[in-house]
Amino acid sequence: MSVPGSWYLILAATLFGVGAFGLLVRRNILIMFMCLELMLNAVNLTLVTYSRMLNDIAGQVSVFFVLVVAAAEVVVGLGLIVSIFRGKRQVTADDLHILRG
Amino acid sequence: MMYLFATVLNGSPIKFPQISYVSILPEIILIGVAATIMLLVALIGRTRATYGYTGLGVAAALISGVWSYHLNQSVTSHGARSVIGGALAVDGFSTFFMILTSLGLIVTLLVAEAYLYKVAARGPEFVALTLLSASGAMLMESAYDLLVLFIGLEILSISLYVMVAFTTSRKLSKESAFKYFILGGFASALFLYGLALTYGATGSTNLAKIALFLSNNTLTSNGVLLAGMVLILAGLGFKVALVPFQFWTPDVYQGAPTTVTGYMSGVVKAAGFAALLRVFFVAFETLRADWQPVLLVVSVLTLLVGAVLAVVQKDVKRTLAYSSINHAGFILLGLYVATAASIGDSLYYLFAYTVMSSGTFAVISMIAHLEDRTEMSLSLTDLKGLSSKYPKVALSLAILLLAQAGAPFTIGFLAKFSVLSAVIQAHHYALGVLAMLSVVIAAVLYLRITLSMYSPVVEKRDVSDEELVQAVSLGAVAVEVEEETQVKVKSKIPLPAGIAVFIALAITIGLALDANPLVHFAAQATLLK
Amino acid sequence: MLSFLPYVVGLPLLGFFVLLFLGRRLGRPAAGIVGSVAVGLAFAGSLFVYSGLVSRPANQRIYVDRLFSWFHSGSLHVNVSLYLDPLSMTMVLFVTGVAFLIHIYSIGYMGHDERFHQFFVYLNLFVFSMLILVVGGSLPLTFLGWEGVGTCSYFLIAFWFERPAAASAGKKAFIVNRIGDAGFLLGSFMVYKYFGSLSYSHIFSQSSGVSHEVATWISLLFFVAAIGKSAQIPLFVWLVDAMEGPTPVSALIHAATMVTAGVFLMARLNPFLALSQTSSMVIAIVGVATALLGATAATSQNDIKKVLAYSTVSQLGFMFLGIGTGAYVAAIFLMVTHAFYKALLFLGAGSVIHGMGDEQNLKKMGALRRFMPITSVTFIVGWLSIAGVPPFSGFWSKGDVLDSAFVKSPILWIFGIVAALLTAYYMGRETYLAFYGPSRWSDPIKPSAHPHESPGVMTYPLIVLAVLALLGGALNLPFGSKIAFLSNWLAPVFASAPSAPQVSSSLEVILGVVDAVVALTGVGLAISLWRSRWDQPALEPKTLQKAYYVDAAYDAAVAVPGTWIARESNQVIDPKVIDGAVKTLTDLVSNTGKLTRRLQNGYVRSYALAVSFGVVVLLGYMLTRASS
Amino acid sequence: MFPYLETLVFLPGVIGVVIFFFPSEFPKRYYKGLGVAVSLVELVVAAAMLVQFKTGVGGYQMVSTYHWIPTFGIAWSLGVDGISLFLVVLSAILFPIAIFGSKETKDPKSFIAWMLILETACVGSFLVLDLFDFFLMFELTLIPTYFLMSNWGFSLGGRAAVKFFVYTFLGSAFLLIGILALVFIHDGGTGQVTFSIVALAHTQMSSTAGRLIFLAFSIAFLIKAPVFPFHTWSPDAYSQSPITAAIVLGGVMAKLGTYGIIRFDFQLFPQASRSLGWLILTLAVAGIVYGAVTAAGESHLSRLVAYSSLSHMGFIVLGLFAFTQIGLSGAVLQMFNHGIYTAALFLLLGMIYARRKTLDTSKLAGIQSKAPIMAGIFTVVMLASIGLPGLNGFVGEFMILLGTFITHRWWAVIGVSGVILSAVYMLWAYQKVFHRRDPEQRSFKDLSIREIATLVPLVILIVGIGIFPNVLLSRINPSVHKVLSNSTTQSIVYHSSLGKVAGR
Amino acid sequence: MIATITTPDLVTFIAAALAALVGAIGVVTLRHPIHAALMLVMTFFAIAVLFVEQGAQFLAAVQVIVYAGAIVVLFLFVIMLLGVDKRDAIVPKDTVSWQLPLGLLVAVAILIELSVLTKGVWATGTHSVTSSINGVSNIAVLARAVFSTYLLPFEATSVLLIIAVLGAVVLARIPRASTEEEIALEKESDVKEEVEQK
């Protein structure tokens, strides 16, 4: 018998929480982005776990799609970051706060 | 070939679902034309003129709109159906939104023409991205499966990230693109987590199956389900800018190219609401008692935040961003009431809002073009003297703004009226009063914009607001009207944008004078299942 | 013949319109002549009407001419109808008569004014309004005339509106009168409420049906109106200021006709007074007090017209004394004779002013009898008449009033007698200061001031009025009922009055003698004190000069705080309090906005935090919803 | 029959909209003439309607209905009765005069277009018999007014316009809620969604609901009128509007509030109108006194007229809530009269402003000696406003106070003080502006023939109605009687059964 | 229940979970982006292990290839490209003082709320019969699902990839201010914007 699904799920939730926490507190844009990936991975873990628990392939299929989405997002996101910060020595999100109020 | 491949893998053949190409033709057209445009760019190369590409895009939008209308007609006569293994629904609801999306797309593309001239090198890509993004919107609107919904959402969003970033030579644009991207990613993650939890709780991602499961089973522990639902609400609420998920809206609306802002406020919001409606009224219908109070609180907050924060803004686009938040609150109000009539009213409102908002941003974009500024942060004072320079533009903007404020003989009025009547019919009197208060507060913001358009450019000492108010209330002054500095600038209004604004105006007023078609149209779109 | 009545009323109106549109073109003196002719014809017409009325039997001398319906709604029907009875006939006659004389006089007096024609525009309108007032067949119509004369009075007082004093005086007169008008309106409302109609014929036929209390309220409310119009305590202040108007105006409006409208009104409404002893007493007391106040104040004035103004106040007080004691006929009698001699005195004063080059200060006159013989003689006639020296008209009319006061209450009579004594005295003082003594007008600063007699157009009216003042007593001589023409003539009008106080003939003789003695005493006193002196501060105390500081008291108690309240209301309460409340609401919104927007701090992390926070709250809510 | 009402409602507005699409080559100087011509045609149609109007009949006449949005139960329904009749005529009279007297040179095209649209909105508000349509028209008045005020107004016109818009819009917000609540209560009772006031007049509801909805309606009307203490937008709006708009604002639009009270409050909520009448009466009386006192402290003539309007509208509201035939008829009459003399006052102020560029009483003096004709006409108008008998202001005021006295004695007594106070502020201002001598001896042209021509119709009306108010009253009375009898019948029926009313 | 878990499974799970957690915490706390990226790789690997542990072999492979192989490499490229050397710590003087404590609070709150909501019952859905994973092989079952029920989303992901390409092209081609004059203008407008915002 394998480890109960709920353990995995709690682990996934924790990973999700850590990722979210990272997004909230980090100011390095790249690291914020990494935290996003972390959250997506947590979701993936959840989906795979559910897939096993429900004996249903849909969860795994979802992970498959999430992977694609994540890839596309990363491509565009990093492209964006590059185009924004090209030539700048700093990639701090806090520099971008002109728009406010 | 496919079949062979599948047989080799596994003794039994894969049962491919019946693909009704007719039903997904609108999306196919958009995607196909986008691909064609990219191909043409590769073959022909780039020119500064982008008429051709825009024309292609508009044609695609038009055809997909017409086709959606055709679908709508067939659906109303033959009934709704779900296609491609239950992944998509073709019903009054989805076709309604697809028509709306096509409309918004047409306006966006027409307006973009003038903007594209300035970013000529990448013009075709912009058109292609917009078409792709709209196809994502359509996917969201007809999705009958959370996963399809998610894919649609991402198609919509990722292309939008690029569109927002289209003018990153400006600092504001960069900032807004970045914020939208990070927060959009965050919202997607939340949505996805919600999807996962819902899947775990119900064993499916298909809306119909979820609904079936929930109506057949009474869960002893529905915590996961509720958590999933809340996270989905957060993810979609982000897209339609509900409080407290609205923080990105003003920043992004302000910093994005105005054309894109218009697109976001119209098409994207419509798609978001479509998804929200579909998920909550199909999949989570049985949980109504759980989500209804949430919608109440959120809609009230959204109404108030949108209105109250709008009146203290100085930037036009930012102000309008808050106004769109206020509108979102109104639409949500109809969802909260959740009667068949009220949903129809919400849809009506959504339609009206999309048209008015797209039109408004179209005019703003036109002003940017006329003033010969690629992108700008247009403050209220920048608008001064507009009416004497471009009376027609000013009048159009004024009408659209007043329509948003709920002026009579516009669909804006009918929209507010119908949502309110649903609210009152359900005996939520206090809520009605509150909503109207927010309308009154919001009226100030529209008036402030029109006011600055119609006030002359005065080269005089700056009188502070407080002084002026003081003077008005004391009535001590009967100052003569200052002589305007007449600056007659004869920039030509770009024809495509002119057409776009005309379309918006024609719908705004025309469908108010003869209200029946749209009323019926929206009412029929409430056939969700 | 009676049907000629509308034309009598209409003629001055016609004159008004002709002068209004053509006056400037007519120029002078044609405009004045047109105006005078209109009023003259009206006078002639009223004689014609009179002959018609008098030809009827005494108890049928009421003629109602319903012209058209003015306004109606529900049970309210107000017609434009004329109501002619002996009382209004009397008024019509003397109003048109005196007005005609004064019109003629004005042609001369206003001869050099730049707005000559306009003066006659106003005068004709005034005569029309006055006629409407007296023959109006219902309360609203009377009110039309009532307000009309007030408005004309306003126009005419402020005729020389470039002078701030004149403008202010006009405004003051109108506003003070409006206080009275409020009483008139409320009185009318009461009448409608209890009678269901506003027309006299209807009211009078039912007046006995109301309670004492209602009658008291109604009569007191109308008395408020009369107080305003007839310058009684406490609303007399406007009349003295009204002397800013041209002198013919003072003569016509502020002495002879308009100010007596209050007396007329009370006489007209005698059925109510008859039902209420309370209000009669109030009227009598107010009347005698006013008579005394006016008389004392008149003793110390230095302005030739102000003496006459206070005198008018005082005489009107006498009339109200008559009304209050139930001697309506006496009051009307006094009103008519007063019209004669007071118009005479004012016109005489006007002649003096005209001759002196607009000098009005008595202390700068003297010895004018040598330069203005006709004026001085007629003025002396007026003096003796008002003083009540037999056989001048004032003796008879004032005597009647005092007699009835004696019957009512000796205390009233004593005050009345004192006032009568003072009347003889102050008019003597004025006569002596103006026409006798050393000349004090050879002012080196104004050498051009050279007194001269006025032209014939001014002196002839003086002569006519002097004759009337002398012989006016003949209207109602107390020698048997046959000769008492006015009493007989007016008897039907006051039929409902319980009984006019009757004095035995012996007492009447005694009282008459007392009156005469008092009058002569007053005259003698004036002669002895002022024959050779002109400056006696001891006899002109400041308090009396200022008329007991009533005007100043009004300033302090009403005008100053009123202005303050208005200003505060306009500059503080409206913008700061009421609009301030509105503004507080809007500020609440914008301040909330300003506070809330600080959450929108521009940091993307904070936005994400907000999103997460939203999720936390939503999850938290779901905790309460989750099934266990 | 000729569609009088349809023509009246749509003619100016449609032409106004069309004007917006005129080519820019169209000569600017013709716009004013065009505006006058259109509004004169409107006047002719209104006159024809007046002739067609049957006297002695209380109900709606010339009724026509078109089902506009059947799904929402909304119909486009027009009709006229004695109450709306003269308000329509008033609008038809004032608009040509206001346009003819306008001096706006800036962008005449839009100016005329907005004016014509405003005329449609005003006339429409008076003629529609459907709550939805009424709300639409009631709201529509705001937009042209807003533009007129902010584009052609004085320097602070924009701010005043926003204040005006938002303030009245706030009232409308409650009105809309009230309308919907009423409609759905009716729907709940009868299962029929309709906005027709005739149908809704017999809605059964609890007295609490009736009162609340009554208040929701009333707040909109009280703000529009304006009635104390909801008036603070009006001094700003009146003083910052272009004179042309001020004429309409004070002359016609203020009447929307009082008209709404009669047409909707009284007919839809007779119970609540009576039970809460004391409240409105008190506000009205407070407004009479407060408006007059505040006007006395005012130095800006337009603002003074605004405060005086507050006082006069107080009288009108007083007459309405007296619930007597006399008071109500008087109030309806006075609505017309107030429109006439207020318009005339604003025209005169405009003429003074054109000459002196100020309306501050402390900067004006001695006009009467330079311009006797203007002074004369001003005097007549002023006296009409003071309520001098023989001029039009009197009859209405008298009837109002009399009607009030019968049922609410003490309110009438306080109201009478307004008679005194109105003389105070008016004469005070007149003295400052027209009397005395101008210390600087500047020149001041008397009225031109054109200006006299603008004013004469109003002066004729002022005098004519003062003497022959019956021309109006004979048409007003039957409708007023109907309103009152409706509300009394209803109050009886309310306690017994609904059957009788339905049968009637 | 724990007793029934086989030891290798338990050990694998604990090891992988620890690795994933440490990696995640490392991403969040490490100052240098490159270190963070390496920590991310560790998490990805750990998760891949957990996938295998749950019978999702194919996904585990894809996870390693796509995430660790492609995505993190992309990250590293960008870090190199931008030449970011400025370090950013998690707790330096933060401009928004309440961000860190509130962030922590919120994250913890979400976790707690989730666990309270579930009460240990995570999966309430019914076991699937139609698309069971106990098929021939993981890949075959997955493929079958992708080409039948999920055909549409599968096709739609192609659009995503187009967009990714298109986006990358567009973003890469964004013209920089070319002339000195334009650069000056840009700076000026930046300054102006900042002033306006303040």
Token couple for E120: 């240990």
**Which residue, B219, B250, B221, B270, is CA-closest to B107?**
B270
Are C192 and D412 a contacting pair at CB < 8 A? no
C22, two tokens: 């053509």
∠ CA D7-D13-D18, nearest 5°, is: 115
pLDDT: is B51 or C237 the higher one? Answer: C237
Q: What is the three-class DSSP state of D434?
A: coil
Q: C310 with C232: CB under 8 angstroms?
A: no
Spatial CA neighbour of C449 closest among C368, C531, C534, C347: C368
Mean pLDDT check: name the lowest of B484-493, C199-208, C550-559, D409-418: B484-493
Q: Around Cβ A1, how many Cβ atoms within 10 Å?
A: 11
Q: In this structure, how many other beta carbons lie within 10 angstroms of the beta carbon of residue C284? A: 25
E160 to chain B: closest CA residue:
B155
Nearest to E116 among C606, C615, C623 (CB): C623
Sign of CA dihedral D483, D484, D490, D491: positive
Alpha helices in C388-409 (DSSP H): 393-408
Which residues of chain C does D477 touch, with a Cβ-Cβ cutoff of 8 Å? 72-74
- Interface probe, candidates D156, D163, D193, D363, chain B, greatest B C-beta count within 10 A: D156
D147, D155, D163 ranked by CB distance to B479: nearest: D155
Q: Does the beta-carbon distance from A73 to B168 stay under 8 Å?
A: no
Stretch B219-229: mean pLDDT, rounded?
87
Phi, psi of B426 (to 5 degrees): -85, 10
Q: What 3-state DSSP class applies to C211? A: coil
Q: Distance between CA atoms of D90 and D238, rounded to whole angstroms?
A: 19
Structural domain boundaries in chain B:
17-455+488-523
The pTM score is 0.91
Q: For the segment E137-196, what is each residue's pLDDT rounded down to a tens digit?
A: 678 888 888 888 888 888 899 999 999 998 888 887 755 544 444 455 555 555 555 555
| Residue at token pair 């000769």 | C483
Question: pLDDT of C444-500, one tens digit each?
Answer: 555 555 778 888 888 999 999 999 999 888 888 887 777 788 888 888 888 776 665
One-letter amino acid at B186 equals: F
Which H helix or E strand runs over D68?
Answer: strand D61-69
Cβ atoms within 10 Å of B17's Cβ, excluding its own: 17
Q: Which residues pair with B518 in a beta bridge?
A: none
Q: How far apart are CA D392 and CA D459, in angstroms?
A: 10
Min mean pLDDT across B291-300, B430-439, C536-545, D306-315 is at C536-545
Pick the residue of E117, E119, E196, E198 with the most C CBs within 10 A to test the interface with C by mutation: E117
SS3 C307: helix
d(CA B273, CA B279) in angstroms, rounded, equals: 10
Judge: E111–A14 Cβ closer than 8 Å, yes or no: yes
- Cα-based distances in Å from D310 to B471, D295, D303, D408: 21, 9, 10, 21
From C372's Cα to the closest Cα of chain D, the distance in A is: 34
List, as ranges, residues 308-367 from C with C-beta within 8 Å of D: none
How far from B251 is each of B40, B255, D101, CA to CA, in Å?
35, 6, 49
Closest CA to D296 of B459, B255, C558: C558
Chain B neighbours (≥3 Cβ pairs under 8 A) are A, C, D, E
Give me C259's structure tokens: 């100010």
DSSP per-residue codes, D280-300:
HHHHHHHHHHHHHHHHHT--B
Dig out the tokens for C192 from the structure: 């409608």
* Distance (Å, whole) CA B488 – CA C28: 60
Q: Indicate the residue of A47, A84, A97 with minimum beta-carbon distance to B196.
A: A47
* Spatial distance between the Cα atoms of D254 and D231, rounded to a whole number of angstroms: 11
Burial of B86 (C-beta count, 10 Å sphere; 0-12/13-18/19+): middle
Which pLDDT score is estimated for A101? 74
Which stretches within B203-217 are classed as H helix? Answer: 207-216
* Least confident stretch, C208-212, C278-282, C286-290, C293-297: C208-212
* Model confidence at C531: pLDDT above 90: no
Adjacent-strand bridge partners of B89:
B82
Task: Work out the number of other CB atoms within 10 angstroms of the CB of residue C477.
Answer: 15
Distance CA C159, CA C156 (A): 5
Query: Between chains, do E122 and B224 touch, taking CB under 8 Å as contact?
Result: yes
Higher pLDDT, B329 or C364: B329
Q: What is the per-residue pLDDT across B151-208, written as a single tens digit (0 to 9) for each? A: 999 999 999 999 988 876 677 788 888 899 999 999 999 999 999 999 998 988 999 9
**Count of Cβ atoms closer than 10 Å to residue C540 Cβ:** 16
Mean pLDDT of B400-420: 92
Tens digits of pLDDT across chain D (504 residues):
789 999 999 999 999 999 988 887 888 888 999 999 999 999 999 999 999 898 888 888 899 989 888 888 899 999 999 999 999 999 999 999 999 988 877 888 889 999 999 999 999 999 999 999 999 999 999 999 999 998 888 888 888 898 999 899 999 999 999 999 999 999 888 888 889 988 888 888 888 999 999 999 999 999 998 998 899 999 999 999 998 999 999 999 999 999 999 999 998 998 888 899 999 999 999 999 999 999 999 999 999 999 999 999 999 999 999 989 999 999 999 999 999 999 999 999 999 998 888 889 888 888 998 899 999 999 999 999 999 999 999 999 999 999 999 999 999 999 999 989 999 999 999 999 999 888 888 888 898 999 999 999 999 999 999 999 999 999 999 999 988 887 654 433 333 333 333 333
- Are the beta carbons of C605 and A98 separated by less than 8 Å? no
Q: What is the pLDDT of residues C575-591, one digit of tens each?
A: 889 989 988 988 898 89
Q: Who's near B181: CB < 8 A, 6+ residues apart?
A: A76, A77, A80, B161, B164, B165
pLDDT reported for residue B125: 87
Q: B236 pLDDT exceeds 70?
A: yes
- Compute CA distances C477 → B317, C394, C465, whole Å: 97, 12, 19
Contact E103 A57 (CB under 8 A): no
Q: How far apart are CA E48 and CA E23, in angstroms?
A: 13
Dmax of chain C from CA atoms? 124
CATH number 1.20.120.1200 given to E1-86: yes
Residues 6 or more apart whose CB falls under 8 angstroms from that of C517 comprise: none
How high is the pLDDT of residue C444? Answer: 54
Question: Dihedral angle at the C-alpha atoms of D488, D493, D496, D502, nearest 10 degrees?
Answer: 160
H-type alpha helices, chain A: 5-25, 29-54, 58-85
3-state DSSP call for residue E1?
coil
* pLDDT mean over C35-46: 94
Which two tokens mark B409? Answer: 């003989």
* Interval C128-151: pLDDT, tens: 999 999 999 899 999 999 999 999
3-state secondary structure of D4: helix
Using the Cβ of D159 and the Cβ atoms of chain B, whether some distance falls under 8 Å is answered with: yes
Which among D155, D180, D298 has the least Cβ separation from residue B482? Answer: D155
Contact D/A (≥3 CB pairs under 8 Å): no
Q: What residue ranges do the domains of chain E occupy?
A: 1-86, 138-198
Kindly determine whether residue C605 and residue A100, on different chains, have CB atoms separated by under 8 Å.
no
Query: Structural domains in chain A?
Result: 5-87 (1.10.287.3510)
Query: What integer pLDDT is reported at residue E192 of this predicted model?
Result: 55
D173-to-B443, B523, C438 alpha-carbon distances in Å: 11, 25, 83
CA-CA distance, E40 to E57, in Å (whole number)?
20
CA neighbor of C473 nearest in space, from C625, C296, C338, C620: C338
Rounded distance, CA B204 to CA B223, Å?
17
pLDDT-derived band at B301 (thresholds 50, 70, 90) equals very high
Distance of CA A53 to the CA centre of its chain: 23
B435 pLDDT higher than 90: yes
DSSP-assigned letters across all residues of E155-182: HHHHHHHHHHHHHHHHHHHPPPP-SHHH
Closest by CA to D167, choosing from D108, D219, D109, is D219
- D229 prior amide bond cis, ω within 30: yes
- Name the DSSP letter for residue B463: P
End-to-end CA distance of chain D: 27
What letter would DSSP give residue C441? -
pLDDT per residue as tens digits for the range B14-30:
677 777 888 889 999 99
The beta-carbon neighbor of C71 closest among D369, D412, D470 is D470
- Which residue shows structure tokens 């492979």? E61
CB–CB of E175 and B169 under 8 A?
Answer: yes
- Extents of the domains making up chain D: 276-467
Chain A hits for B204, CB-CB cut-off 8 Å, are: 56, 58
Say if the Cβ atoms of D110 and B480 lie within 8 Å: no
C235 phi, psi to nearest 5 deg: -105, 25
Share of chain B above pLDDT 90, in %: 48
Is the pLDDT score of B63 beyond 70?
yes
- Pick the closest to residue D252 from D219, D222, D225, D217 (CA basis): D225
Tell me the average pLDDT across B213-237: 89
Query: Whose structure tokens read 């429900």?
Result: A54
- List the structure tokens of E15: 């090891």
**Looking at residue B479, what is its pLDDT?**
40
Q: Is residue E107 within 8 Å of residue C612, measured between CB atoms?
A: yes
Any chain E CB within 8 A of the CB of B121?
A: yes
- In angstroms, the CA E52 to CA E13 distance is 10
Inter-chain touch C594–B183, beta carbons under 8 Å: no
Q: How far apart (Å, rounded) are the C-alpha atoms in residues C211 and B274?
A: 79
What is the reported pLDDT for C628?
58
CB–CB contact E113 C609 (8 Å): no
CA angle D241, D242, D243 (to 5 degrees): 105
**Mean of per-residue pLDDT scores for chain B:** 84
H helices of B119-170, in order, are: 123-142, 146-164
HSE-up (13 A, CA, CB side) for residue D73: 18
Please give the single-letter amino acid code of residue C25: R
Nearest residue, CB atoms, C607 vs list B183, B305, B474 = B183
| Under 8 Å between Cβ of B200 and B219 | no
